[in-house]
């Protein structure tokens, strides 16, 4: 056997030492939280109120219709009757007829306010999918330890949970030092332009500058993150941008018995194929890098070494992340075809073919830059590329060193001590983006637990929340208000 050259041996030893030192310094970011003071909860009454809230059909798509508007107003009346102390002591404004803004005056006007947001509208239930529900979607049935129905997770749980917390705190005689705003939109599921956007505009005109904003968005995931046995509470510190591009080709058409070399369908197909073959680059930067800094130290040794030494293992970690759609979506801008249209008859060459690709843009990239990359990848001037009207740049990234993040982190550790906390990137969009002009410290988290088969309940059938989780949501909001007023 050939002897290792002394230089190579020294280099290997130095590398091993470096990896070991960096791994040893890669220490846990989890806050040690003292146990929380007790908070009195009437579990049954609380569950009954959420159940009753689900029975209001505050459906997003029906909202603009007169009947839908009426349903929101009936829902407001229900809230006033259900939370009497809150409605006596907080000021309430109806914004744009259907959204609600509450203000709980703080004792110290120098402190920046806290803004808790949620939405009252829910997505519709397609008539043919109603059979897939174990309990009728607007029944609010309480059975088998769960509250069932549309809005149980998204997002009547947030609205009612926040209101329960404030009502409970008022019952204890608690008065906040900083002013607390509660803002509930009525059209989040269709963009939030009539609700959250209007509330945010009102707050901006009044010069309100929140210390931080908390919205729904991410949850506690259990058995979903590879390499971590404990449940993980993911706090969304940013969300991806949104863009759809229409690709279209117009040709002369003609009879299918004498086909030309290039057809409209052929050209669009080739464009889509080229796009599939040139994915956007994978990056372990921004919110995803912050997430790995929090998760890495909690993992077994081999993963810890890799994540503590991304300067060396970055390609390996990217490759592993790209292997699953769930993790691939947080390391790159994604692109996928969602519509395809061409042809009127089996023996007629279509004069036009078109497709729509939907993109979710990584923070740090832009609508203009991504559009240009698509144009380059398609590389064919015959394919016309037009952006569709609904588009959003990626959000700013909230500060994880800011007090707001620490307060949320500490509150999660107090209400769910078994949980690991980490910042993360949300791949969907929430109402919170409308508040971006007020502060960059926007966090997206709601403490319900998602196991591997639960994510599909969002906007799907059998949406439900366990009674334990709901109780924890209420405790979380109550404690969060207390903790941010210390």
Interface positions with Zn ion (CB under 5 A): 154-155
Beta bridge partners of 357: 245, 337
Region of 227 (left: φ > 0; alpha: ψ -120 to 50; beta: rest) is: left
Q: How far is the CB of 184 from Zn ion (least distance, A)?
A: 11
Helices (H), 172-257: 196-205
Q: How far is the CB of 116 from Zn ion (least distance, A)?
A: 14
Q: How far is the CB of 15 from Zn ion (least distance, A)?
A: 47
Q: How far is the CB of 48 from Zn ion (least distance, A)?
A: 23
Name the residue nearer to Zn ion (CB basis): 195 or 286: 195
CB of 393 within 8 A of CB of 241?
yes
464 three-class SS:
strand
Q: How far is the CB of 118 from Zn ion (least distance, A)?
A: 8
Is position 188 annotated as part of the catalytic site?
yes
N residues, the chain: 486
Catalytic, out of 154, 164, 188, 216: 188
Q: Cis peptide leading into 81, omega within 30 of 0?
A: no
Q: Which of 95, 127, 267 is nearest to 196 (CA)?
A: 95
Name the residue nearer to Zn ion (CB basis): 190 or 466: 190
Name the residue nearer to Zn ion (CB basis): 154 or 469: 154
C-alpha angle 458-463-467 in degrees, rounded to nearest 5:
120
Name the residue nearer to Zn ion (CB basis): 300 or 390: 390
| Terminal alpha carbon distance of the chain | 68
Q: How far is the CB of 446 from Zn ion (least distance, A)?
A: 9
**Strands 442-444, 241-250: pairing kind:** unpaired
CB of 426 within 8 A of CB of 240?
yes
Q: Which of 432, 477, 475 is nearest to 37 (CA)?
A: 475
Name the residue nearer to Zn ion (CB basis): 155 or 164: 155
Name the residue nearer to Zn ion (CB basis): 154 or 187: 154
Catalytic, out of 71, 121, 164, 167: 121
**Strands 212-215, 442-444: pairing kind:** parallel
What residues are annotated to the active site? 121, 188
């Amino acid at each position: 056997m050939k002897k290792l050259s002394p230089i190579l041996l020294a280099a290997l030893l130095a590398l091993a030492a470096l990896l070991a030192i960096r791994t040893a310094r890669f220490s846990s970011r989890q806050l040690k939280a003292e146990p929380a003071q007790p908070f009195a909860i009437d579990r049954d009454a609380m569950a009954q109120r959420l159940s009753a809230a689900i029975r209001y059909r505050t459906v997003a798509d029906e909202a603009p219709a007169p009947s839908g508007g009426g349903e929101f107003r009936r829902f407001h009346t229900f809230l006033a009757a259900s939370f009497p102390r809150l409605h006596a002591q907080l000021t309430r404004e109806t914004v744009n007829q259907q959204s609600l803004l509450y203000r709980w005056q703080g004792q110290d006007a120098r402190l920046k306010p806290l803004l808790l947001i949620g939405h009252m509208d829910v997505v519709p239930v397609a008539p043919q999918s109603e059979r897939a529900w174990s309990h009728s979607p607007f029944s609010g049935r309480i059975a088998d330890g769960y509250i069932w129905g549309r809005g149980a997770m998204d997002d009547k749980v947030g609205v009612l949970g926040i209101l329960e917390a404030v009502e409970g705190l008022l019952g204890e005689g608690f008065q906040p030092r900083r002013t607390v705003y509660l803002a509930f939109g009525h059209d989040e599921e269709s963009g939030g332009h009539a609700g959250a956007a209007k509330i945010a505009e009102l707050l901006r005109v009044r010069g309100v500058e929140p210390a931080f904003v908390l919205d729904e968005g991410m949850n506690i995931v259990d058995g979903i993150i590879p390499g971590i046995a404990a449940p993980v509470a993911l706090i969304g510190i940013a969300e991806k941008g949104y863009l759809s591009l229409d690709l279209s080709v117009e040709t002369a058409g003609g009879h299918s018995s004498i086909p030309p070399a290039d057809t409209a369908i052929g050209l669009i197909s080739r464009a889509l194929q080229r796009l599939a073959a040139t994915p956007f680059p994978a990056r372990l930067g921004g919110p995803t890098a912050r997430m790995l800094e929090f998760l890495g130290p909690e993992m077994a040794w081999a993963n810890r070494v890799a994540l503590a030494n991304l300067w060396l293992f970055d390609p390996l970690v990217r490759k592993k992340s790209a292997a699953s759609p769930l993790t691939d979506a947080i390391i790159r801008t994604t692109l996928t075809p969602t519509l395809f249209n061409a042809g009127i008859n089996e023996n007629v060459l279509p004069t036009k073919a078109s497709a729509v690709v939907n993109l979710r843009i990584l923070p740090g990239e832009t609508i203009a830059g991504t559009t240009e990359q698509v144009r380059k990848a398609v590389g064919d001037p015959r394919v016309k590329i037009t952006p569709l009207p609904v588009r959003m740049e990626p959000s700013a990234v909230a500060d994880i060193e800011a007090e707001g993040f620490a307060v949320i982190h500490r509150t999660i550790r107090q209400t769910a001590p078994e949980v690991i906390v980490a910042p993360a990137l949300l791949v969907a969009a929430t109402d919170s983006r409308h508040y971006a002009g007020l502060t960059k410290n926007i966090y997206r988290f709601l403490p319900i637990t998602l196991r591997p088969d639960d994510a599909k309940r969002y906007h799907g059938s059998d949406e439900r929340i366990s009674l334990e989780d709901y109780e924890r949501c209420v405790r979380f909001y109550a404690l969060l208000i207390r903790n941010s007023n210390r």
